[in-house]
Structures are given as C-alpha cells and as structure tokens.
C-alpha cells in the first residue's frame, strides 16, 4: 500500500549565536499541501513541539544543521479520512500518497502547517517522493549570511535548469545516506554563446551567490554537476573520464571526474588484492566510496574536502604534500604497500606467533619490540648467516623474531612516520648476501631462487624449480638472496661465540612433513633413497641444494636417511 506522507521531519536544534542573533531553534516543518477538502488526522500540527523534528548542529560546522528520521514514524498518523479513507476494495482509495513536503524554519516563528507563513525559510516548501515507509532520510539546513534558512533533504531530486541547451536540463538524483549527489550532463548550447543555469534559492551557485540567479556557462561538452549537502552549493566542472592510467591494478592512481560506475569498472574483481587507491587528483569526489571485499590493508589517499565515514581506518588525508592518517590498522597475511609518506596518529599490527620457534618479520613503522625477541642480520661466518639481538623494531628492516609462548602480539605506535615501502633496500652487511623485508605474498614460480626460512626456523634454503607446492613468502615476512648457492644455516650471536646448537650442518638433511608431501632441505646436491616402513624402495630421489618437494605419496610412514617421516 502506498503510504502518503505530507509531512516533513522537523528538527529542533539549539542554535548558537549567529549573525548577532540570539540562540534560536531550527525545526523541520511538515507542510500540509493536499488539495483534498477532507480533514486529516496525520498529526502534522504537533511537529512544532516534537523533539523528533529538532535539528542539531554538525560538529565542526558553523552554520550546518541536520535532522535524521525514518519516515514510518509519521505514517501511522497520515491516513486520509472521509471520502478518501483507505478502502482495500477500492484501488482509488489507498488512503495515502507518497509526496512529502517540508520547509525548515525557526521554532519561534513556526507559522501554520500549510505552505505559508514559513518564517525565515529562504523559499517555500520543497517536495520529495518515497514509496517505502521505512526509509530513513536526512534533512540539511544552513543559516545563510542574511539569517535566512536554506534547506534540503537527501531524498530530493533536484533539477538544474539550463537555458538554450539542446541536451535539456540536468537532474541530480536522490542520494539517501550520502553527503552529495551528482550527474554527468551535456552542455551544447543551441547556438548561443552562453547558456545560463538556474536552480532554487536553497542552493548556492558555483560562484557563491544564491542559485536563484542565473549562472553563465560558456564552455561546451560534458560536465560533472554535483551538489554538496554540507554546503548546499552546486558545482559545474569539466568532465574527464575517470582513469587509472598512472597506476597499476593493485596501486590505483586515479584522475578525472568522479563516477561510481567508472570506479566500479576500474576495480573489477580485483578488490581483494588492491593495496593503495589515490583519489587526490579526482574532481567531484565528496564521499569516500565503499568497496566490497576490499583488501583490509588497502590505504586510501584523499584530499581534505572528502568526507570519511566515522570509524573508517587506513585513510590518509593530504593537505598539499603533507599527509596524515588518524588510524592505520594492518592485518596479518594480507598484502600491504605504501607509495606516499605520511604521519599516522596511531598504527597497529597483530601477529600470531603460533609456536616458540624463530620466524621472519618486518613492519612498515618503527615500534618498541616489547617482550618479543628480535634479531637483525649482521654477519656471515662460513655457511652460517649470523643474527644479533636488536633493541627495537625499525621500519622496513627485516628481523628474526620469537616469543616465549605461542600467542598473538599486537605492535602499536603513535605519532609515527610511515614511509614508502616501494623499492626497499635489503640489509647487506656482507657482500653477496641480501636480507629483504617483504609486504607482498610471493609464491609459486615467483619464489624460485629465493632463500626462505624452513619450517624448523633453523636455516634458509633455496626454492628449487618446478613451482613448489608449499613454498612462498607471506606478507610482513622476509627472505634472502645470495650468490653463494648453498643452504644458509642460522647462527645466533649473543655477544660471544655464535650459537649453532639449534641449527643443522650443511651436510645434514632437514626433512619436513607437509600435507600430502615431504620437503627435504639439502645442503648440497645428492642422491637419496626413499623407503617404505617395511623396507621396500619407493623412489630414488635426486636432491638439489636447498628445498626439494616430494609429491604424489600415499599416506603412511616413510624412511629417508634413517629418519622416519609421516605423510598425512
């Protein structure tokens, strides 16, 4: 059943002293504009004293007020009586209509509920239509410099009248729950040297004057026409197709005019892998868009005039070249990248240390290590890569790390610089050995040739050819490259002799059971037999130096080099 609402949310807001006036309250006044002669019982006459209609001042704004309300609050009292009373047997007597009329006035100069005596409203009543009775709409009001009240509801459709234009007028659609509305329109002139745009006086024109006057447009072509609800000012900007020509599929650098449809096309099905989106060169963007299934570590770069939804993290606001983020939250195992340096008021990263062995780690910010033991790469002694205890964690430096017990550790810092993570230099205390911080998942053939830490945390072994099933580097980890072409055994320098008690010699095999396969880390190339538990020869193995993956095995217990290994 269509619901009729000839009303408008009133809002009562205590207004601070403005333009020399004393404090006054703004009300969203529902207007009775029916042409029916029957009386109604919709209750609009009570809005003047109903707190539901009170407007409240927006924090940080001098003259902007809002009132938000679900329309079904009024519907229950909005049915016509007598000759237009609802009759389920007569479709012409549905009892409601879906027009909603309102005006914003001062509470102390309210007038009556008809469309007259509207106090200091800058124009008469405005209207919008909504079929669904549970819709929540927002009313906006701005006290103009002359004390008059300009107003708008985000459910309104607004027409910009364009004279002498072959393409006709431009219609700005409703944008419920948003902070702006926009459309792309063609201005082609109809032979005139200029066209003139007009819109009702509730809005300011692009030059800041009341929009009831004419605004001349001399250019021709496509234009992005937008209305900002925070200022109730419309803009006409030359339209340029939104493009990612300067970016990559994972690090977007957008230029052109804002278009949600074009943005969705650029994103495609790639949201989960996107690490940065730069909006700073986009015109007409007023609200940070929401992206479904987005990589949780994605950073947004925006200008100061973009509205950020409350509670949104990982947004960097730029004033010229200076960027600042309120809160950066980084999630384990998801890709991360930063292409612009900025300051973060707060940044955090959580890591699940699943056991007490050694792991690699790196962070894009400097932070106290807490009770986590961290070591940095400092030397090479024979087959050993030597690590020495570090007192803190420096940004973009790779480390070994361990905890006393399996637990989730949260690394948190305040007021820190976050520098670019592109083209990071490795730690290279000795020529021919490089230890890299890594924030992107590297797997499959991309991992071939890299030296990755084994599951035991005792050595770094080279990934062999053949797209190894279980080899890879997660985000926020580290890896080695070297020209030495040998297994890199880890040594821990505690200030005296290097501790190799937990490491394996280069000639001894490291055998690790993975799901459905066996990983064998060899210090040199060699041939080794694989036996079943009953002594049958299963396979002769040609092992390369580094990691070797033995796949295609049935579940069971096998023997390699006198060691038992279980395949599950």
Pick 62 or 358 by higher pLDDT.
Answer: 358
pLDDT at 277 > cutoff 90: yes
Residue 270 burial by Cβ neighbours in a 10 Å radius (0-12, 13-18, 19+): middle
Structure tokens at 140: 């906006």
CA 240 to chain centre: 24
DSSP state, residue 261: H
Query: Stretch 246-264: mean pLDDT, rounded?
Result: 95
pLDDT of residue 36: 47
Give percent of the chain above pLDDT 90: 48
pLDDT of residue 9: 44
The phi and psi torsions of 65 (rounded to 5 degrees) equal -130, 150
pLDDT at 267 > cutoff 70: yes
Asked whether 126 and 158 are in contact (CB, 8 A), the reply is no
pLDDT of residue 72: 66
DSSP state, residue 22: P
Helix ranges, 47-154 (H): 72-75
* Nearest C-alpha neighbor of 136 from the set 155, 157, 158: 155
pLDDT of residue 523: 73
Degrees (nearest 5) of the Cα angle 196, 201, 206? 50
DSSP state, residue 178: S
pLDDT at 78 > cutoff 60: no
Query: Stretch 530-557: mean pLDDT, rounded?
Result: 86
Those residues with Cβ within 8 angstroms of residue 46's Cβ, 6 or more apart along the chain or in another chain: none
Pick 528 or 342 by higher pLDDT.
Answer: 342
- A 10 A CB-CB count for 115 gives 15
Give the tens place of pLDDT for each residue, 202-215.
999 999 888 677 89
Residue 152 CA to residue 545 CA, distance in Å, equals: 72
What sign for the dihedral angle of Cα 39, 42, 44, 49? positive
pLDDT of residue 503: 39
158-162 β-sheet, strand order: 170-172, 158-162, 195-198, 215-217
Residue 272 CA to residue 475 CA, distance in Å, equals: 14
pLDDT of residue 505: 42
Pick 390 or 407 by higher pLDDT.
Answer: 390
CA 567 to chain centre: 42
Asked whether 126 and 149 are in contact (CB, 8 A), the reply is no
pLDDT of residue 6: 36
**Would strands 328-330 and 342-353 be described as parallel, antiparallel, or unpaired?**
parallel
- The pLDDT-based confidence of 132 (bands split at 50, 70, 90) is confident
pLDDT at 283 > cutoff 90: yes
- The pLDDT-based confidence of 394 (bands split at 50, 70, 90) is very high
C-alpha distances in Å from residue 557, one per residue of 519, 529, 540, 560: 14, 14, 16, 10
Residue 164 burial by Cβ neighbours in a 10 Å radius (0-12, 13-18, 19+): middle
Residue 145 burial by Cβ neighbours in a 10 Å radius (0-12, 13-18, 19+): exposed
CA 552 to chain centre: 43
Those residues with Cβ within 8 angstroms of residue 269's Cβ, 6 or more apart along the chain or in another chain: none
3-state helix, strand, coil in the chain (%, to 5): 5, 45, 50
What sign for the dihedral angle of Cα 229, 320, 347, 263? positive
Asked whether 487 and 522 are in contact (CB, 8 A), the reply is yes
Residue 433 CA to residue 481 CA, distance in Å, equals: 6
Pick 84 or 324 by higher pLDDT.
Answer: 324
25-30 β-sheet, strand order: 13-14, 25-30, 99-106, 126-129
pLDDT of residue 337: 98
DSSP state, residue 266: H
Residue 496 CA to residue 325 CA, distance in Å, equals: 44
Lowest-pLDDT range of 73-82, 244-253, 478-487:
73-82
pLDDT at 479 > cutoff 80: yes
- The pLDDT-based confidence of 501 (bands split at 50, 70, 90) is very low
Asked whether 524 and 504 are in contact (CB, 8 A), the reply is no
pLDDT at 464 > cutoff 90: no
Residue 128 CA to residue 45 CA, distance in Å, equals: 20
* Nearest C-alpha neighbor of 363 from the set 388, 335, 393, 338: 393
Q: To which residue do tokens 């605004």 refer?
A: 215
Asked whether 458 and 510 are in contact (CB, 8 A), the reply is yes
pLDDT of residue 7: 40
Residue 324 CA to residue 444 CA, distance in Å, equals: 37
Structure tokens at 277: 């989106």
Query: Stretch 255-278: mean pLDDT, rounded?
Result: 95
Coil vs helix vs strand at 73: helix
pLDDT at 340 > cutoff 50: yes
Asked whether 275 and 249 are in contact (CB, 8 A), the reply is no
Q: What is the dihedral of CA 471, 475, 478, 480, to 10 degrees?
A: 50
pLDDT of residue 129: 82
CA atoms within 13 A on the CB side of 379: 12
Give the tens place of pLDDT for each residue, 404-452.
888 889 999 999 999 999 999 999 999 899 999 999 999 888 898 999 9
3-state secondary structure 394-454: CCCCCEEEECCCCEEEEEEEEEEEECCCCCCCCECCCCCEEEEEECCCEEHHHHCCCEEEC
The phi and psi torsions of 311 (rounded to 5 degrees) equal 85, 5
pLDDT of residue 507: 53
Give the tens place of pLDDT for each residue, 10-28.
444 444 444 444 578 999 9
Coil vs helix vs strand at 30: strand
Structure tokens at 543: 């092992």
pLDDT of residue 32: 65
Pick 89 or 105 by higher pLDDT.
Answer: 105
Residue 502 CA to residue 457 CA, distance in Å, equals: 9
């Amino acid at each position: 059943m269509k619901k009729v609402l000839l009303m408008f949310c009133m809002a009562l807001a205590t207004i601070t002293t403005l333009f020399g006036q004393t404090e006054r309250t703004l009300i969203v006044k529902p207007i009775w504009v029916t042409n029916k002669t029957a009386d109604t019982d919709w209750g609009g006459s009570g809005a003047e004293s109903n707190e539901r209609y009170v407007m409240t001042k927006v924090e940080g704004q001098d003259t902007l007020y809002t009132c938000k309300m679900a329309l079904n609050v009024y519907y229950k009292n909005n049915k016509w009586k007598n000759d237009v009373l609802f009759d389920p047997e007569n479709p012409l007597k549905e009892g409601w209509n879906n027009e909603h009329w309102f005006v914003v006035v001062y509470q102390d100069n309210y007038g009556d509920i008809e469309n007259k005596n509207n106090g200091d409203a800058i124009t008469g009543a405005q209207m919008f239509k909504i079929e669904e009775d549970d819709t929540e709409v927002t009313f906006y009001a701005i006290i103009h410099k002359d004390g008059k009240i300009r107003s708008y509801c985000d459910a309104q459709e607004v027409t910009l009248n364009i004279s002498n234009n072959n393409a006709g007028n431009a219609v700005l659609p409703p944008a419920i729950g948003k902070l702006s509305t926009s459309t792309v329109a063609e201005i082609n002139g109809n032979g005139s040297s200029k066209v003139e745009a007009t819109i009702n006086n509730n809005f300011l024109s692009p030059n800041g004057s009341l929009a009831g006057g004419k605004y001349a447009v001399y250019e021709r072509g496509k234009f992005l026409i937008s209305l900002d609800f925070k200022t109730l000012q419309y803009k006409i900007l030359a339209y340029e197709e939104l493009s990612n020509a300067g970016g990559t599929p994972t690090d977007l650098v957008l230029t052109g005019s804002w278009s949600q449809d074009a943005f969705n096309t650029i994103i495609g099905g790639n949201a989960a892998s996107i690490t940065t989106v730069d909006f700073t060169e986009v015109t007409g963007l007023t609200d940070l868009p929401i992206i479904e299934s987005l990589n949780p570590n994605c950073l947004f770069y925006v200008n100061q005039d973009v509205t950020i939804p409350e509670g949104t993290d990982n947004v960097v606001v730029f004033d010229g070249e200076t960027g600042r983020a309120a809160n950066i939250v980084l999630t384990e195992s998801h890709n991360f990248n930063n292409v612009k340096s900025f300051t973060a008021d707060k940044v955090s990263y959580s890591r699940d240390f699943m056991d007490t062995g050694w792991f690699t780690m790196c962070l894009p910010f400097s932070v106290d290590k807490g009770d986590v033991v961290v070591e940095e790469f400092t030397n090479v002694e024979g087959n050993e890569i030597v690590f020495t205890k570090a007192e803190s964690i420096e940004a973009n430096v790779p480390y070994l790390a361990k905890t006393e017990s399996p637990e989730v550790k949260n690394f948190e810092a305040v007021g820190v610089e976050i520098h670019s993570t592109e083209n990071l230099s490795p730690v290279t205390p000795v020529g021919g050995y490089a230890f890299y911080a890594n924030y992107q998942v590297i797997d499959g053939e991309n991992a071939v040739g890299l030296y990755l830490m084994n599951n035991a945390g005792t050595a770094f072994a080279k990934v062999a050819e053949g797209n190894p099933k279980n080899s890879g580097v997660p985000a926020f980890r580290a890896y080695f490259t070297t020209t030495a072409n040998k297994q890199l055994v880890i040594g821990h320098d505690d200030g005296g002799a290097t501790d190799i008690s937990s490491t394996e010699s280069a000639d001894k095999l490291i055998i690790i059971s993975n799901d459905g396969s066996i990983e064998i880390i060899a210090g040199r190339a060699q041939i080794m037999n694989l036996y079943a538990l009953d002594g049958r020869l299963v396979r002769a193995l040609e092992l390369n130096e580094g990691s070797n993956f033995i796949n295609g095995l049935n579940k069971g217990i096998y023997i390699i080099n006198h060691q038992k290994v279980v395949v599950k």
